[in-house]
A and B are shown apart, each in its own frame.
Chain A
């Protein structure tokens, strides 16, 4: 399909749903994509199955502090230099770009990059959702290296980084982003078409689009937007309630907190807690204990409109529906859980798949 200024809003809405409460402000990414498409024309979203085995795909992303990204937006051409540096290094031209995360800001930033470079965007990503750190991609498990990574700023500075692990790539990129004024663009995880098919999460961008479209059209046709999202994602309604308390604190650069909900409608009489670190990570029901946890997706939707609610906008009195969506099976392996399971985020719970937890509820 073509990504145009007419359907970019749907991508952004769906990306916010897959952002599970975090992933940065998709508003900025959406506007960047909108302007780039206006200037350079629509972007081809291509099926990963159609990418030649040996074609070079270079995913692109913005990295840094959200406060900086909303104040100092990119120049828009940083990726050009970053791509050129990588292409020269690898001795091959980039066939396409790709999103590292299907959730939040970075789902739409590569659309702008694709438009500016005149290359297609592969319908896939490395998370199927949003996570805060560079190494937290299924590609890491597949042995795809985050480096050589190109890091570029608006001034024309660029670096090519080689590291021994993807964790080091995260660490160096983070430090560099500070020197570059708190935000930068990166080209990373250069991979072949064959590797995309084997290690990435496929069809996630069109899923984001379909979710956004479903929410928009459900509103117009007075259908339940939440049902529409659950249908598309094989998800479950976890809780319907009113937010009665939100606690937040800053720990190690993350906004860490917990929201408490009191049940309404069919959840009347029950209580629910949602723990988040930028993204929603653990959901507990007063009667049933943990009902969903990372890496499964937990998203809060406005009970009336179905619009996704990010963690920074959780506030007392908001009536919401919390939904759970199964993550990619790739995340449910031991390696996957080491990277992004509850223990990585310091929660002392054992991961159980969302579907299992839902089934035990009915036993």
Chain B
């Protein structure tokens, strides 16, 4: 069995690629600069690893890609769809209209088309209001020029039939070509945050399909007939079709890939991961091999959302961080970024960077010049970095007990081995391409996040129902039936409500079906 796979991670600075064999051993790795058109960078990384590993195109079973194109499109307001944002819940919810708190330019970039129509349910599944199908059809016709629809109904995590019906009506009115995002498939309870995530998802579908097509074309161009997957932000994979439908799930997939890769390379299933890049260091937590999810609303492009996102803290320290020696040594948050090879002193530039200190100390050997920096400056800078990392590691922990800490990423050398609060510090082999390894070894998953009334079914039954649904979703995503495991069950009782309402979240994951 060859079963070779390639993992590619497109970051802001570097595009990393690895070749892994069927036993998940790393056969080749490379770091190449990310190019403006992305595809060129992907192809050159691909060529290097194929060449180095001696693996031929037709021996590849899978190619997995982690990208930041969705995040960039939101930040830069570039290539976003015009979206018809339909909320079903009137007469309730009118006191806060859709997109009210969005930055003006982002709301304008997606067209600012919003409507609040009759319908929706109560917390216990009772009808809030009848869906008025004629009203819905009229609204769809009014949104005739939009590129995509985002549909959110009140308490759709409890009952999704109004969202489903509105999606059918949109199909009938405008045909099969216009993408439709429905909120119960994207976010959880908290209407505004779920609606925001759904609208962003709808805005991203064209960008996503361009990126997916470019990826598919690039593979065709190299004669690669492997199955193609995208990394998503829970550290699992999704098919190309799925990525086009749910592009929002690729947001923050980079740090998630790093967490998965670091856990795999170090064999640490539970602990803290520190990924040191060129401009920032991401600190995240790994739980049973998967990135821990954030429990609070996460902002994307200044918009509050509540879909699953990894719990990550980014600090402004990386290889390109500018070192200041005015009144005490500090590192970052200013950075020379991708201009390291022009501006850093070790490359003949004028700016003192974190990388220069390590070159001066002799721990790394890059560039053409050995910067003249005193030993006490190097020590003070290392101490500064250690303190910053320690503080963030501590914030990611859930108790005072020491936990394993894994350090990965190109800038790992900046972080010392004696981190306070760590039971052990790992810097595993291939640390510099942990993110590409993470996407190459990723599994596929299925999730459920629903509210159950324990007056209607008992607790065991509700959890089993959620587990079955999560497993079905994992199988639908391409998981091998024999390898699917339930990897997370979370139960939250809802206060002030009768009927013993409880929110149950379940995630199932398994290996790709061969």
Contact = CB atoms under 8 A, between A and B. Distances in A.
A and B bind: yes
Contacts of A338: none
Contacts of B91: 75, 154-156
Contacts of B310: none
Given A181-B123, A317-B394, A72 B399 contact: no
Interface stretch (A88-96, A122-130, A248-256): A248-256
A135 B192 CA distance: 31
Given A31-B101, A65-B495, A155-B129, A74 B395 contact: no
Nearest to A181: B122
A242 B390 CA distance: 14
B190 A245 contact: no
A67 B400 CA distance: 31
A35 B123 contact: no
A32 interface: yes
Given A31-B100, A67-B495, A245-B399, A72 B95 contact: no
Q: Is the interface of B mostly helix, strand, loop or mixed?
A: loop
A154 B92 contact: yes
Interface in B185-211: 189-192
A52 to B, nearest CB: 30
Nearest to A68: B123
A179 to B, nearest CB: 10
A181 B95 contact: no
B494 interface: yes
A221 interface: no
A313 interface: yes
Given A34-B100, A70-B192, A182 B497 contact: yes
B98 to A, nearest CB: 11
B454 to A, nearest CB: 13
Given A67-B189, A250-B493, A31 B96 contact: yes
Contacts of B398: 315-316
B116 to A, nearest CB: 10
B495 A250 contact: yes
B191 A73 contact: yes
A178 B190 contact: no
A66 B154 contact: no
Nearest to B297: A27
Contact of A35 (B89, B95, B495): B95
B89 A72 contact: yes
Interface in A128-175: 154-156
Contacts of A75: 90-95
Given A31-B96, A35-B96, A72 B496 contact: no
Given A31-B101, A70-B192, A71-B191, A112 B495 contact: no
A156 B90 CA distance: 12
Contacts of B489: none
Contacts of A253: 495-496
Given A31-B192, A72-B89, A72-B122, A67 B496 contact: yes
A249 B269 CA distance: 28
Nearest to B96: A31
B287 to A, nearest CB: 14
A317 B92 CA distance: 39
B95 A71 contact: no
B397 interface: yes
A244 interface: yes
Nearest to A246: B398
Interface residues on A, range: 35 or more
B103 interface: no
A182 B394 contact: no
Chain B CB within 10 Å — which of A65, A71, A72, A317 has the most?
A71
A31 B395 CA distance: 30
Nearest to B499: A178
B494 A71 contact: no
Interface string A61-91: 0001111101111111100000000000000
A178 B499 CA distance: 10
Given A31-B100, A71-B123, A71-B154, A317 B395 contact: yes
Contacts of B92: 72-75, 154, 181
Chain A CB within 10 Å — which of B89, B94, B129, B396 has the most?
B94
A156 B91 CA distance: 9
Contacts of B128: 72, 155, 181
Contacts of B97: 35
Given A181-B123, A182-B123, A313-B296, A72 B93 contact: yes
Nearest to B189: A71
Contacts of A330: none
B498 interface: yes
A312 to B, nearest CB: 9
Chain A CB within 10 Å — which of B89, B122, B498 has the most?
B122
A216 interface: no
A70 B93 contact: no
Contacts of A242: 394
B208 to A, nearest CB: 28
B390 to A, nearest CB: 11
Nearest to B93: A73
Given A112-B95, A178-B498, A72 B155 contact: yes
A255 B93 CA distance: 26
A68 B100 contact: no
A205 interface: no
A72 B96 contact: no
A73 B189 contact: no
Interface in A249-283: 250, 253-255
Contacts of B189: 67, 70-71
A322 interface: no
Contacts of B100: 31, 34-35
B497 A28 contact: no
A244 B395 CA distance: 10
A65 to B, nearest CB: 4
Contacts of A245: 399-400
A64 B496 contact: yes
Nearest to B451: A67
A181 B91 CA distance: 13
Interface in A226-243: 242
B126 interface: yes
B155 A244 contact: no
A36 interface: yes
Contact of B395 (A36, A73, A178, A318): A318
A73 B396 CA distance: 33
B118 to A, nearest CB: 11
A244 B400 contact: yes
B451 to A, nearest CB: 9
Nearest to B101: A31
Given A35-B97, A182-B123, A67 B296 contact: no
B395 A71 contact: no
Interface string B376-415: 0000000000000000001111111000000000000000
Interface of A: 28, 31-32, 34-36, 64-68, 70-77, 112, 154-156, 178, 181-182, 242, 244-245, 250, 253-255, 313, 315-318
Given A66-B496, A73-B191, A178-B497, 10 more contacts: A75-B95, A77-B94, A182-B496, A242-B394, A245-B400, A250-B495, A315-B398, A316-B399, A317-B396, A317-B397
Interface of B: 89-97, 100-101, 120, 122-124, 126, 128-129, 154-155, 189-192, 296, 394-400, 493-498, 501
5 contacts: A70-B189, A72-B154, A73-B96, A73-B192, A178-B497
Task: Give the 7 A-B CB pairs with smallest separation, nearest first.
Answer: A76-B95, A65-B496, A181-B122, A154-B92, A317-B395, A31-B96, A32-B95
